[in-house]
Amino acid sequence: MERTIEEIKVQSIDKLPPIDYIKNIPRNKKLKILFDKSIQGLRENVGKDLRKQLSGFQIAIHTIEPEINIVKLITDEEIIANQVFFENCAKDYRKLGEELVFMFAHKKKIRFNHKFPSIMFNHFKGKEQKGKVGDWKYFIHGFHCHFGNINTKQEIEVPFMFGMEFGDLDPYFFIQFIKSSTKYYPLPVNIYEDFADGQRIIEVMLNLDLFEKITSNFKDHTGVVVADRDKVEIAVFNDNEEYYHPKFNLLEFLGLKRKNLQ
């Protein structure tokens, strides 16, 4: 989904487009304000002021080029009108994530830790960090395992830091999943900005109590999942607790050496 671009060249501050005009731009248009050389040093202050006045918009102040790019994000009304769609997408995300984790464990014939499945994925970091299982290519990174279907091109980033809860919704990853899933096409609402629109969708769905926050295996780290689900208990890592290794060390699990922290 591409936007049309409207360019407005500004030679003085008083020639900036009125706020009411900007508020009424459609979501399928990007407004590009080009600053004349004589006033280009003011674009950062102008951009900061626009951010204060324009909630629900993305104001991108270019760090090199003398320009500000403005787009309208998905609205509360659009999200509310499509709340059932986004709820079902979140349920599908969670279901597929769980299926792929169990398939991965089965294909790799590795011991599965139901309390901390992250240990299983960590076992492959630096060895078989990427590869193929079934019709899916995988790549383990950070706190996620990316799966991409070779045939359908569907993509999903499966979180593995929430115990047996595999439905945590990162704004960008959630939208990538939706856009790569052909079953959802045509989409009931246009999504242009993967992260920013995804973030707004999650915020509104939280306010509607259709999504909810959960804790992770790390203390003080939280995630977001669909509220209508079979809830699972999520344990917190304890560096003194033994798992299926003789002694599990949290710092070693994270790839950190104690000597580096001294």
- Which pair of tokens denotes residue 23? 């508020």
Write out pLDDT tens, residues 65-114.
999 999 999 999 999 999 999 999 999 999 999 999 999 999 998 888 88
Question: pLDDT category, 247, cuts 50, 70, 90?
Answer: very low
The total of other beta-carbon atoms located within 10 Å of residue 199's CB is 18
The average pLDDT across 24-35 equals 97
Are residues 34 and 87 part of one domain? Answer: no
The total of other beta-carbon atoms located within 10 Å of residue 82's CB is 16
Domain coverage including residue 66: 4-72
Are residues 13 and 37 part of one domain? Answer: yes
Are residues 119 and 64 part of one domain? Answer: no
Q: Which of 55, 72, 89 is the last residue of a domain?
A: 72
Residue 245 scores a pLDDT above 60: no
Residues 75 and 67: their CA atoms lie apart, in Å, by 25
> What local confidence, expressed as pLDDT, does residue 17 receive?
96
Which of 1, 3, 13 is closest to 70 using CA atoms?
3
Residues 211 and 90: their CA atoms lie apart, in Å, by 9
Residue 241 scores a pLDDT above 90: no
> What local confidence, expressed as pLDDT, does residue 62 receive?
95
Are residues 38 and 90 part of one domain? Answer: no
Are residues 156 and 228 part of one domain? Answer: yes
One-letter amino acid at 38 equals S
Residue 255 scores a pLDDT above 80: no
Are residues 92 and 64 part of one domain? Answer: no
Whether 39 is covered by a domain: the verdict is yes
DSSP code of 19?
A: H
Are residues 156 and 128 part of one domain? Answer: yes
The average pLDDT across 134-147 equals 95
Beta strands in the chain (DSSP E): 4-10, 29-35, 57-61, 67-72, 130-133, 136-141, 144-149, 155-159, 211-215, 222-226
Which residues lie below 8 Å from residue 105, measured CB to CB, with a gap of 6+? 112, 120
Write out pLDDT tens, residues 171-222.
999 999 999 999 999 999 999 999 999 999 999 999 999 999 999 998 889 9
Are residues 122 and 14 part of one domain? Answer: no
Number of domains in the chain: 2
Are residues 101 and 23 part of one domain? Answer: no
Are residues 178 and 223 part of one domain? Answer: yes
Are residues 230 and 155 part of one domain? Answer: yes
